[in-house]
Amino acid sequence: MALSIMALVVTSTAFAQDAHLRRLSTGEDAKAWEAVGRLNIGGTGFCTGALIAPNMVLTAAHCLFDKETRARIDHTDVEFLAGWRDGRASAYRTVRRAVVHPDYSYAGHVNSDGVRNDLALLELDHPIRDGKIRPFETTARPRRGSQVAVVSYGKGRSEAPSLQELCTVMAQQEGVLVTSCSVDSGSSGAPIFLMQDGQVHIVSVVSAKAEFEGEAVSLGTSLGAPLAQLQAEMTARKDTLSSRVLVGKRHQTGAKFVTP
């Protein structure tokens, strides 16, 4: 698929300077990234997600839709495996509630509206309170030319996370972040990090991959206002549940990666 979502100005060095993906094979390698985990989706596939609070995981909205039927997946069939590596996780949690961006519509193919709103927030059944699993903070969008990193699972590397320590923000337009980061099936929802002054913050999540002038690029969803909307909706749902409980009413309570 040619990248037609927006016009890009790309220099040849944008890709040449990128670091390669590095498997985080040992506990020492992975210790700073334990809050990134694999999301198992009903036994049919997986995505990547990251903790932004002890009980909140940020990922891509399309991970919660079946690629064949386009129907919303039951979020209780989703499991978050924090720091999953070679058959073991630092923490295992199921999902209590899930909120998809209200303007997201699953189309089954890449389009700018889909990428722009491709965010979901998952509330875990129990918070993860472990000193070595520290939720990441989020921050405003990076500038074009900023150096970013991505930690993800993916096709052929589902058993341990991989880190690309250096890739580049190539463009940002209308809420879509274009980077030179390497992503593949399963990388959906992976956090894109801005590493600055010794601090690591999530600035985007992986939504899709595309191609521009023969080079692979990744498309991410910018945070800021879209994330604030999700957080507000999650809070509203909690408040609604609390009010129902107070009045005595009972409350009833395949991953897809968009590829060219």
CATH of the domain at 246: 2.40.10.10
How many domains would you assign to the chain? 1
Closest by CA position to 51, among listed 88, 93, 102: 93
Cα–Cα distance measured from residue 177 to residue 195, given in angstroms and rounded to the nearest whole number? 16
Q: What is the pLDDT of residues 19-29, one digit of tens each?
A: 789 999 999 99
Residue 201: band (very low, low, confident or very high) from pLDDT cuts 50, 70, 90: very high
pLDDT digits over 41-62, tens only?
987 799 999 999 999 999 999 9
**Residue-number span of the structural domain to which 208 is assigned:** 1-260
98 or 8, which is more confident? 98
Q: Is residue 167 within 8 Å of residue 193, measured between CB atoms?
A: no
Contacts by 169-174 with C-beta closer than 8 Å and gap 24+? 169/142, 169/143, 169/144, 169/145, 170/8, 170/10, 170/14, 170/144, 170/217, 171/6, 171/8, 171/9, 171/144, 172/141, 172/142, 172/144, 172/222, 173/6, 174/6, 174/112, 174/116
Please tell me the predicted confidence (pLDDT) of residue 212: 74
Q: Name the residue among 55, 80, 70, 150 with its Cα closest to residue 104.
A: 70
What is the value of pTM for the model shown?
0.86
pLDDT at 244 over 70: no
